[in-house]
Chains A and B, each alone.
Chain A
């Protein structure tokens, strides 16, 4: 006689946006796993059409309150690509510094508020604070430092106003930038201690043979630019993104699924992928902590993503300190002039949760005629489903409640950042 089980989580907690999960098993076999994103469609790509190319950074920022820089900078870089402008030097350094702020703020939110409560056994960080006050307070202070970078360079933490196509509206004075230094130095030390603490926790065993995809860059741990790289030897320019990946609209989710065009296989983007493909470009302290944490050349256990995120926070602090110390004088102009010309531009940056891809076509007057934006959550959906499938298959002996909790934690390995899913999740486990 076969037994049917369904496990559902109708509203995932401690993720960003709205999603749910459904699993159906028959006897000792998992039959179906669906991660659905039911975030209401918001049609960004539709209403970008007809807007001026210079409006794109402000508009696309509204896709996500947690990683607006990924959208502002991606849109800016793509528009600069169309118009043949390269922002480099001090302005590029300031962009990387702003993005370090977003990594710190977003990763700290993920580590301390969304994910760590799972490993400490609390429903949320606020409850965890009663037993671990220093951990939570330090986590909030780390997050605040990321936000203070965003406030200085962007005007505010959420939907910054100071970034534009070509650079910035106002560049900070060296004194303002130096003002960040003491807290950054504290943050680097504190983040290092948390990284060591995280290495002492127990993590569920799950190792999967992901195809890691991230940006790769010869000189730096990729954040603002690079080429598309993978564990299986992919090496492509960002403008070839649409040839490399195919998106598919499935009935159970408002977010499009992505897979490799050639093999049809899903890919994995985000911290584990960046770490695996760019291990040798970690900053010194981050590299040392990764070594001590025993993370090896690559980490294939998604539950350990919290450790890799922490390593990346350390890296972002080191990078921010380097950039702050290198900022001697404000550039003569806060932005390069960008004159529209008809064409199509491409850009991809490493958002905290993985590659965020942008493609825009504009006409000679600078009006947008076509837009395509692919956030990492969308790409990672099939991979998350595959993780869930394996996790449920190997834990079928557990009662529904425990199994459901396991699955939720597994989803929070990715976050996922659901409201981002421009083109876009509910858990149900059905056991038969």
Chain B
């Protein structure tokens, strides 16, 4: 007899929908996945709604409003295994650029009636609000890593996701180092693997969309960027893109900004 299928819920907060789209982008594997796991809540894909508790919950997006902060606690309570997908959910995402600025000023720049807009002063990672069982990085996530996380969940094992740097993937792909060979600024040495060293493969430097690797030596990289002639203000912006809120990138950008960099 067929066992009852585990349930999958997908939620989003402030984000572009790209990471949950990654699941729909598994064109060849999507039907195989949905054969093994029941879509209980996934508004982008289905009208079906099955109340929690859910076995596996994927959360995209960052916490930027008071309601979101409340909702994520409810989702956590209704989730057995909660995985954040993507840079927004894992480090605050591009929205975290507000953490370095005056949000009221942003609101006035963008909206005619700022009083209609309710928002928090910061864009927070999910883990700043609730315990998270696993974080999948990337802006966007890599769909094969997502499939690995889902199948690891189905088989009750830990996901095999590398914590090495982009450099390691780049070497393995046999690509020429854009920084050494061409003097192109590259965040690869401090950036978490997962994309397959995409940017160097396109002859450009990594822009850090998977966020910091474990134990990154950002000050060391800043010295190299400076030696390549990259100006301080440009270096600050280099660390402040899609993972600006991640500790290692935030700290290095602040160190640079305060003039304590190389």
User: Which A residues are closer than 8 A to B by beta carbons?
Assistant: 11-18, 39-47, 49, 51-52, 55, 58-59, 62-66, 68, 109, 113, 123-127, 129, 136-137, 140-141, 143-144, 147, 155-159, 161-162, 164, 168-170, 248-251, 254, 256, 334, 408, 419, 422-423
Known contacts A63-B16, A64-B16, A65-B21: A147-B27 contact under CB 8 Å: yes
| The residue from B13, B27, B34, B117 contacting A141, defined by CB atoms under 8 A apart | B27
By DSSP majority rule, is chain A's interface helix, strand, loop, or mixed? loop
| The residue from B17, B110, B198 contacting A65, defined by CB atoms under 8 A apart | B17
From 62 to 79 in chain B, residues with beta carbon under 8 angstroms from any chain A beta carbon are 64-65, 68
B238 to chain A, nearest CB (A): 9
Chain B residue contacts of A47, Cβ below 8 A: 94, 97-98, 101, 106
| The residue from B17, B25, B116, B203 contacting A17, defined by CB atoms under 8 A apart | B17
Contact call A254/B17, Cβ cutoff below 8 A:
no
| The residue from B44, B110, B119 contacting A423, defined by CB atoms under 8 A apart | B110
Taking CB as reference atom, which chain B residue is nearest A418?
A: B17
Contact call B43/A12, Cβ cutoff below 8 A:
yes
9 nearest A-B residue pairs (beta carbon): A65-B18, A124-B46, A46-B106, A249-B112, A144-B27, A40-B14, A47-B97, A158-B140, A140-B27
Chain A residue contacts of B19, Cβ below 8 A: 65
| The residue from B45, B111, B112, B207 contacting A41, defined by CB atoms under 8 A apart | B111
Taking CB as reference atom, which chain A residue is nearest B14?
A: A40
B227 within 8 A of partner (CB): no
In whole angstroms, what is the CA distance A45 to B210 when docked? 23
| The residue from B39, B65, B119 contacting A124, defined by CB atoms under 8 A apart | B39
Contact call A140/B30, Cβ cutoff below 8 A:
yes
In whole angstroms, what is the CA distance A423 to B117 when docked? 11
Taking CB as reference atom, which chain B residue is nearest A50?
A: B237
| The residue from B39, B98, B113, B203 contacting A251, defined by CB atoms under 8 A apart | B113
In whole angstroms, what is the CA distance A206 to B152 when docked? 48
In whole angstroms, what is the CA distance A14 to B24 when docked? 12
Contact call A66/B17, Cβ cutoff below 8 A:
yes
Known contacts A42-B95, A126-B46: A419-B199 contact under CB 8 Å: no
Taking CB as reference atom, which chain B residue is nearest A124?
A: B46
